[in-house]
Chain A
Amino acid sequence: MEPVVHLRSAVALLGRFPALAGVDLDVQVGEIVLLQGPNGAGKSTLLRVCAGLVTVTDGEAVVLGIDLRRDRRAVRRHVGLLGHANGLYDDLTVAENVRFWAKSARASDAEIDGAMTSLGLDGRLAALSVSRLSAGQRRRTALAALVARRPRLWLLDEPHAGLDAAGRDLIDDLLRRAVGQGATVVLASHELDRAHGLADRVVTITGGRAIEQPLPTTSPPC
């Protein structure tokens, strides 16, 4: 079967700096792949490349069968990216934010309501202004907008950041359910204990290159 993500010697520049310096990576349908590595190694850039937001200047880059070097914008409707920023409007409510982004992807009202409920954002919380939310609640709001879009490929940059233990469990359950429904997940995380328990494979990004790692049986210290 054709991999969901297929990168061969992929190079991506941030300005003149090669953020990815020849990455090889294949991700199969239904996998959860953890990207780990030090800050500035290129994890976020790799996720943004897969989302079609950063240009691949050399090598091969095919995501969901779409050649990113020919048309990186075509892949965007099929992926959901949760980056460092949440992409929320502070002066809109939780429900208005989720609805705005989900409707742009032509999600139905039922899908939007379902996404908000699955992340515990229904009821009183839905009517709260985003400016009044905690960091964890903001993260969950951004994820709800992503869930409602039903992406085939989930690209998550530190999805557990700012969440309490219950919120982290909620995210993990959500990702396992999405994979059960045929989605694929690539996530970058520094929370290795939790991420190792979630991932099928671990790839270390260092110096702009990807190195496949065995999944540890015991979790290393963070």
Chain B
Amino acid sequence: MLRTARAVAAKDLRIERRSKVALTQVLPFALVVVVLFAFALDPSTSLRAATPGLFWVAVLLVLLLAVQRSFAVEVTDGAFDAVRLAELDPAGVFLGKAGALAVQLLGVEAAMAVAVLVFYDPTARAADVTPFHVSVGAIMLFVAAAVAATTGLVATGTLYGALAAGSRVRDTLLPLLVFPVVAPVLIGATRATEATLGIGKTTLSDGWPAVGLLAVFAAVAVATGVLAFGPLLEEA
């Protein structure tokens, strides 16, 4: 299973490195979303409070693009048949595709986090609002939340990506399938990020239970993917 996972992840990451879709399309899209939110919301009131939620909604949009791309390379020239015919462990294929997606998504999240600090914090300062409080503990909390949330997101996205891949309406079907399921991730990651940034009356210790929730979701999503990806692949 791990051998297959390594091979599939290496293949997917090599495809992304060559095509540069994540770098030239997905990442700019994420940054544009972050900037547009900054324009749309009032920096003196709404923007600061909404930052954690906006960040993770933008991550969900990026997830959709990344999952669609990940399965488009399989569907375009009928590679799914070859996957089924090859002696590839379906659980390994799931872990490999999810792993490659996680690497891309974490990279985009890091760039988005920098963009938020660059675009949102000065905007808030200019509006005379308390700036974000970023300490080492806050960074650790955010990294833990991001890793747990990303694991849950890519596991769910990969699972539903395989389910939607066989459909002619996969591009519009995928968000309908994924968004309701990852609602707990959006809630947990937003709470953890609020604690990271010290928004409202939250402290860092308020964020760790949310990380726990994210970790439980991630574990369930990965376990479900490992078990269910084979049957889903058969239907794709």
Contact = CB atoms under 8 A, between A and B. Distances in A.
Interface of A: 51-53, 76-77, 79-81, 83-92, 96, 100-101, 103-106, 129, 145
A83 B18 contact: no
B87 A104 contact: yes
Contacts, number: 63
Counting chain B CB atoms within 10 Å of each CB, which of A104, A105, A129 scores highest?
Answer: A104
**Interface residue tally on B, bucketed by range:** 10 to 19
Contacts of B73: 89-91
Given A52-B85, A83-B81, 14 more contacts: A53-B81, A53-B85, A85-B79, A85-B81, A86-B77, A86-B78, A87-B77, A87-B81, A88-B77, A90-B73, A96-B14, A101-B82, A105-B86, A106-B87
Contacts of A106: 87
SS of B interface (majority): helix
Contacts of A86: 77-78
Contacts of B76: 90
A103 B3 CA distance: 11
Contacts of B86: 101, 104-105
B196 to A, nearest CB: 36
Given A76-B85, A87-B78, A89-B79, A104 B18 contact: no
5 contacts: A76-B84, A89-B79, A92-B11, A103-B7, A105-B86
B228 interface: no
B77 A77 contact: no
Contacts of B25: none
Contacts of B14: 91-92, 96
B81 A100 contact: no
Interface in B140-179: none
A52 B86 CA distance: 12
B216 interface: no
B78 A91 contact: no
B15 interface: yes
Contacts of B88: 104
A104 B87 CA distance: 6
Contacts of B44: none
B203 interface: no
